[in-house]
Amino acid sequence: MGAKHTHLAWIKKFIPNNVNTAIDAFAGSQSVAFLFKQMGYKTITNDFLNFNNQIGLALIENKNIKLTNEDLKLLFQPAKNKKDFELIGNTFTNVFFEKDEAEFLDNFRANILLLNNSIKQAIAFAVINRSMTRKITMGHFGHTQALVYASDPERIKRNRSLVRPIKDIFEEILPKYNHAIFDNKQENHSFNKNILDLLPTLKNIDLAYFDPPYCDSHADYQGFYHLLETYTEYWKEKEFINGIKRYEPQRFSGFDKKRDVITSFEKLFELSEEIPNWLISYNNRSYPGIKEFEKIISKYRDLTVEAKTYHNGRGGKGSVAGSQEILFVCKPKKKHFVSTIQQ
């Protein structure tokens, strides 16, 4: 929903020179991390949701491993342990998928474990999860209208994927993922942690890109993408609640609730004191407001504020037409020396 791929050229204009190592701390779909990798940086990417981490493993950490036709035979064959993989069929049939598609997803999930290394598994997760978002109108799972939309001829005209088998979508987009895999001659790493836990373990970072959930502006990524996380983790101990069958309890973020977010930002900036350059994506409909957030950042960095207006809505409160994408460009504070020489 953040659609950062639409802002990459704009963000790139504000990346400072002399960067060797960069971190994308709230990576989401990994588009900014992928830009860093393309620019030749040692790239550290992180997201506290594992389905996003799988994209990072597949496209950022991965140097040259791809899924082959032999791998596809494994993934598509009838699973030998079907009874252990019935979560999607039992929970999401007639919610997002009809029975045959839900059973295909369970079968595929069982067979991911047959792939012979974690990077191949990550590619399989990344592509199957993307295939699911392609099949659902609006590309997220925060609504209960998926099957209604999939029977609407007008919507089908605009998006044929609504009625295509997930297997076909997977086979169509896999070559694009394989083609995007490259070695930038760096040791890149993808993490699946809360950034407040990860930062103390890192050092020698030149640039941090922070794209936190835009609090009070459709920040509930666990709600919108719950199915992808459930599928990746394949939880059996969670409770699945309400019409969309979202998992409960949710993971603690610290950045998506008003009661937590200011304290979390202050801790984030304190933990990032050794990182000289920060770029912070934000939105003018988020909490705290732009002026208040600027005051918080200014305790730690000198900054300038850049803005880009959405002329067309992209879905979500924070990207409706007329709202603004904000970029805080943060540099080390200038040191002011007072002369002690007496005249």
Helical ranges in the chain per DSSP H: 8-12, 31-38, 50-56, 69-76, 87-92, 99-112, 118-135, 146-149, 153-158, 166-179, 195-198, 221-224, 226-233, 258-271, 290-298
Q: What is the pLDDT of residue 320?
A: 52
Average pLDDT over residues 74-94: 96
Instruction: Supply the mean pLDDT for the chain.
Output: 93
Q: What is the pLDDT of residue 219?
A: 77
Q: What is the pLDDT of residue 107?
A: 98
Q: What is the pLDDT of residue 137?
A: 83
Helix, strand, coil share (%) of the chain residues, nearest 5: 45, 15, 40
pLDDT tens-digit series, residues 160-187: 999 999 999 999 999 999 999 999 999 9
Q: Give the pLDDT band of residue 342 (cuts 50, 70, 90).
A: low
Average pLDDT over residues 56-75: 98
Cβ atoms of residues 108 and 102 within 8 Å: no
Domains and CATH numbers, the chain: 4-331 (3.40.50.150)
Q: What is the pLDDT of residue 105?
A: 98
Cβ atoms of residues 41 and 21 within 8 Å: yes
pLDDT over threshold 80, residue 112: yes
In percent, the amount of the chain with pLDDT more than 90 equals 87
pLDDT tens-digit series, residues 287-296: 999 999 999 9
Q: What is the pLDDT of residue 337?
A: 53
pLDDT tens-digit series, residues 310-335: 655 444 444 455 679 999 999 999 87
In percent, the amount of the chain with pLDDT more than 70 equals 93
Taking the C-alpha atoms of residue 45 and residue 60, their distance in angstroms, rounded to an integer, is: 8
**Which residues have a Cβ under 8 Å from the Cβ of 95 and sit 6 or more positions away?**
144, 146, 147, 243, 244, 245
Give strand pairing partners of 139: none
Q: What is the pLDDT of residue 39?
A: 98
Q: What is the pLDDT of residue 314?
A: 47
pLDDT over threshold 80, residue 340: no
Residue whose token pair is 């791809």: 66
pTM: 0.93
Taking the C-alpha atoms of residue 47 and residue 44, their distance in angstroms, rounded to an integer, is: 11
**Which residues have a Cβ under 8 Å from the Cβ of 124 and sit 6 or more positions away?**
67, 71, 75, 108, 112, 115
pLDDT tens-digit series, residues 194-248: 999 999 999 999 999 999 999 988 779 999 999 999 999 999 899 999 999 999 9
The CA-to-CA distance between both ends of the chain, in Å, stands at: 62
Cβ atoms of residues 12 and 323 within 8 Å: no
* Cβ atoms within 10 Å, residue 133: 17
